[in-house]
Structure 1
Amino acid sequence: MSLTKYNQKRNFKETKEPQGKKAKSESKLIFVVQKHAASHLHYDFRLEMDGVLKSWAVPKGPSLDPDIKRLAMMVEDHPYSYKDFEGNIPKGNYGAGNVIVWDNGTYEPAEESNLNAEKQLLADLKKGHLRIVLKGKKLKGNFSLVKLKGKEDNAWLLIKKEDQYSDKVDITLKNKSVISRRTLESLEKENKPEPVKKKVSPIKKTIEENKPVAFIKPMLASLNDKPFDDEDWVFENKFDGYRTIAVCNENDIELFSRNKISFTNNFKIIAEDLKKIDHNVVLDGEVVVEKAGRSDFQLLQNYLKTGKGNLKYYVFDILNLEGNDVTGLSLLERKELLKILLEKYDFTNVFYSEHIQEKGIKFFDQAVKKNGEGIIAKRASG
């Protein structure tokens, strides 16, 4: 990636972010982690390479626990000067929200080679496996960035390796900037967003970024007599409705049954709501009509005849994003992507289907008390 995409996404008359120009450190390579409260809170993990900052968005932030693997989505390169950026990105601009420098320092390859450090890192980046040593104020020691090969193009994992700096303590609880000592909350009070005169024109996607998506046949559940507890499983509500696959291509939305029977005309209100999504995606969920907080199949049947009822689409999985099959990611990673995607939009009839981990028996008992249809169990790694 070059800095062209970075510059295209920003209106420098409205944001104080630095313009995209290449630069580099005089001696050791630097890294920076910025805590960013945009449409969703995340941490931007950046490594200096080839005159720019290679960047990954880490939704849950870094961890010092080797058993925890954090999803890291590679984004466009940022300019070297972005390393010191703190402040407010005004509403209406790309990435609108507040930013602090959560951590910074220097880094180097974890293994020696015949190449100089930067060439080795660029070679490892191309291979999809970076082994690095961080020397920051909060993050120290050996880390790996591993690309999920054969999965979504920009999906990586950030992993702490076992060493003297490994720790089970949540490092993100140290929430102050290493530059200003401010928190995001205090920054928000200082920088109330000013009204923007005009919205930034949306950037047209390239063909490579805008690959069309198509129907994917979903997996079916099998019956189980008893609920159970298992840390390797997640549990969701069972809805009494129609399993629905949404194929979203720009402004063209198609809804299908699990056997590819078209639902688009039947559920027009759902299709119209999904037009707010500006990505090509395939979603998996259930269309229901609710009454008193629970789905009712008879009411859904009546809706098909009369068009009357509170129609909702509960989405519990994402199967494809921008032409990239993401079913190779774990269920928890897909649900994390799905939640990030859906939170970007102000839907009326589309909802993210929540889940819990491990506690299936308690979740089932709650469903019984609410006269629900039951629960669905899914492998977290599936």
Structure 2
Amino acid sequence: MPDALKLYKAKRNFSVTSEPEEGGQASPDALTFVIQKHWATRLHYDFRLELDGTMKSWAVPKGPSYDTHDRRMAIHVEDHPISYSDFEGTIPPQQYGAGKVIIWDKGTWEPIGDPRAGFAKGEVKFEMHGHKMHGRWVLVRLRGHEDDKQEPWLLIKENDEYARPAAEFSVIDEFPDSVKDLPMPGRTTDTAVANAKVAQLKAERDGAEPAKAGKAAKAAKPGKETAAAAAKTPAASKAPRTRRGAMPEGAVKGDLPATLNPELATLVDGPPQKPEEWIYEIKFDGYRMLTRIEGKDIRLITRNGNDWTDKLLPLQKEIRRMKLPDGWYDGEIVVHDENGKPNFNLLQLAFDGSNKAQVVYFVFDVPYCKGHDLRDVRLDDRRALLQELLAAKPSDTVRFSAEFGTDPDQLVVAACQIGLEGVIGKRRDSRYVTRRSPEWIKLKCGQRQEFVIGGYTDPQGSRTGIGSLLLGYYDDEGVLRYAGNVGSGFNGASLRHLREVLEGMETEKSPFPARAVPGRTNHWVRPELVAEVSFSEWTAGDAVRHPVFQGLRKDKPARSVVREQAKHVQETPDTSTPAKGGKAAAKAASKPAAKPAAKAAAKPAAKSARAKPVDTDLPGNLPATFRVTHGERVMDKESGVTKMDLVRYYALVGQLMMEHLEGRPVSLVRAPEGVGGELFFQKHVTDTAKMPGVAQMDQALDPDHPSMTRIATAEGLLSSAQWNVVEIHSQNATGKHYDTPDRFVFDLDPGEGVSWAQVQEAAALMRVFLEELGLTPFLKTSGGKGLHVVVPIKPKLDWDTVKDFTHAVVDHLARTLPDRFAAKSGAKNRVGRIFIDYLRNGRGATTVSAWSPRVRPGMGISVPVRWDELPGLTSGAHWTVKTVHERLDEGNAPWAEYAKSAATLTKAMKAIGFKPAKKK
């Protein structure tokens, strides 16, 4: 029995306790540590470091702290056997240390200097690699206590990138649970194989051929085994193209689209089961960049459609020198550090003029080329063509992202060892789709994603600028959820710069739900900035562990930031409808199809891992597979309408509503907190992939602003409801004739003291007047206090002319009947009168759509009605979400003559003496 374990064994009765008596093997390649959370007489943490065949042990009453100012008492106790590192259980009563024990953390540690000399001296420095413990630490023995039965030491966090103030982060509070079932971090099962992959990764990173990457690569000579492996690779069995540069099978002639959404990879929780069916590339730490080449016009476009050509003029010049054929090229731009590794911070500096480092463009796909649409071509054939094109004009700046290796497990290990983000896998036979695809996968070393900055804390001690950033992400209902804070990864300059930027964005109200963020001294900012953050894992409380700030992202809008959820690899190819070829493909790439609504409504909507399926016997066209999160949430206390009720409502009226929405730009009113809570009026939906059936309008309709939004199919109504959209407002023109509206609307808005009977009278008067002008007005309830009078017109006149005409109509009525009508808005201008709101007729203005609910108590809905039904209406909210079934049989029948009733305004303008303003 080793002398070191005498005291340990003497204190325990191993016939009673389940603790190990001895045993355990020392690790051959790394020293291990374990920290056990121990509920004995008092809760404490047993801190154990492997050395010389035993676990050197200390009892730390308060547990470790990442604050460098904290000196945590650590009482030196007897050595434990190495096998004790696996012990988790309950020490029986009456036994030494009786109480529950869990493995709170485990991993490996590296001594800094000679650990034995350090123990003798009373100062041991080391670096830890665990699930919870990271970075540099020191154990210091207190002087003057040499005669104590148990020596007191101090456990202190060294100042490094992991250090964090106690006011911002408590590791024992943040991570209270066991890690027993988690794998040992920092272990490599096959070092030789991993090292070979490291050499390959370095070669790929530096732009060299994999075959030249070190001795490991040189040793891999072709033979029977490699030939057999190649025969199993799907790409190897394909016949090569008959001549250099020929278009591969599946290519179809097609116009080059003006815009293109890139294919996005899906984060997965493990490699595919059939790795030979996939190719693997480096996951570059940079910005996704698409290149559109059409003759001499070369544009560099971000994944969100932002034109960055002016920021990348040297790269544009190099692409022009290469004389690549017309097409769309897909890749990633990076800047390498002095070690040849992609560095995200250096890439950001390259845009502000403070850094002259070369931007390198790694190109990995070509979905359009030489007048052909290649999206239905196999990936390996597209890449073969791309490699030929790039090889014809070699460049140090524009490089082909080469394939290497077939073992994703070892590739990820190698990528992590040299500090890369991870590996991208792509199915060899996959086509190119303009959305996130399960056939492109991300295998990451650690976790890393974007977060929205919702606020910051003040610095403490000698730190300047900020203490930490308050992070968030949008959930599937559009609510900004708190994800913890990040205080590591900054330098002095970045801290000061962030403080200046954030102070200019401060706001009084938190962008997070009430009481979501601890602390009372937080500074709130508008949620517009996006930070890229690496971290070890998510906590049980949905916060990030060990976050490190990597930089700000300028290529992604804040509204698109969600929590990345790892999925299982889809082992069968994506069988969704293939992309159309030729002109249809080009048109589809830039403008999503609007029809057929009924067919689209039958498709399943986006799923949520934690969502509950809707009942399969729902009325309407709601798919049985559609998923709703938090369906029980009450949206309106007065009526009791829940989120599930709202989804059911939209399923019922979807086809009726689409007749009023088809082709029109819309604005969405989101109410995450329901009636009475904060509302969000959203005109531009940037990430429509999350909302099936919701699409973007053609950018050319409003080139000075982001693309407008439209509801493309009835499924879009369900997607909107899932994102807490209650109201849907539409504009007075369609995308087909956007510069010339095809209707105008008068909103009869009663002021204080106006009875419902007066509103009905006002609507009847408006009808008579408009009909005298030769127009055909239609009536609908507003879902609120008033009524809407809608007049269809032929799309001949511009926005300003139509708006000015409606203003003239309102002025005429207000002058003729001043006791009934007001032409000016404002509460004091319409006391006892009705304001006829004509402002909804301007360019970009909207009116709530027919069949849309309202975010008001009772949840009334806007419903088309006949004029002869006017006397029987009880209010503008005559029908509600709860009572809509009473009106479904009528549907849109009251407006059956709407389309054929459109008239020009020539006669009406003459009748009231209106003359359009002359255009400058």
Which structure has the higher relative contact order (CA within 8 Å, separation 6+)?
Answer: 1
| TM-score (normalised: structure 1) | 0.47
Question: Is the radius of gyration larger for structure 1 or structure 2?
Answer: 2
Structure with the largest fraction of helix: 2
* Length-normalised TM-score, structure 2: 0.20
